Amino acid sequence: MGGDAYLAYPLEDGGILAGVADVSGHGLSSALLMNGFATALSALVREVDDPSHLLAVVNDLIVERVGEMGMFITATLLRVRRSEPAVLAIAGHPPAALVSAGGEVSSSRPRGCR
């Protein structure tokens, strides 16, 4: 049992919101906190379009619900749609590695994170 998760949510317009998240610590408390995080994301993914705003809303909900437990969650979310550029949001997680079709690897540095 642990607090790691790979997340994928289909969007109504055919896009997808995907990501990874990690809760500090190990065991049941980390797994339960991750379950709460994933449940909140799932409930709000159709209501909050911007990934960075979604992370901020879920953060506020988690902090309000569990308070100061000395635990934290890091996450990276990527929203992909055919009709627009991908949108990446990072909350405390190491930057994502972007790999081009030609195999070139670069590090992401999203703007606007709070």
pLDDT tens per residue across span 69-96? 778 888 999 999 988 888 889 887 667 7
Task: Decide: residue 74, CB within 10 A, 0-12 exposed, 13-18 middle, 19+ buried.
Answer: middle
29 SS3 class: helix
H-helix or E-strand spanning residue 16: strand 16-23
The CATH code of the domain at 4-107 is 3.60.40.10
Cα(40)–Cα(52) distance, integer angstroms: 14
Which residue in this structure is represented by tokens 């317009």?
13
pTM over 0.85: no
Residues of the chain with pLDDT under 70: 1-2, 68, 93-94, 107-114
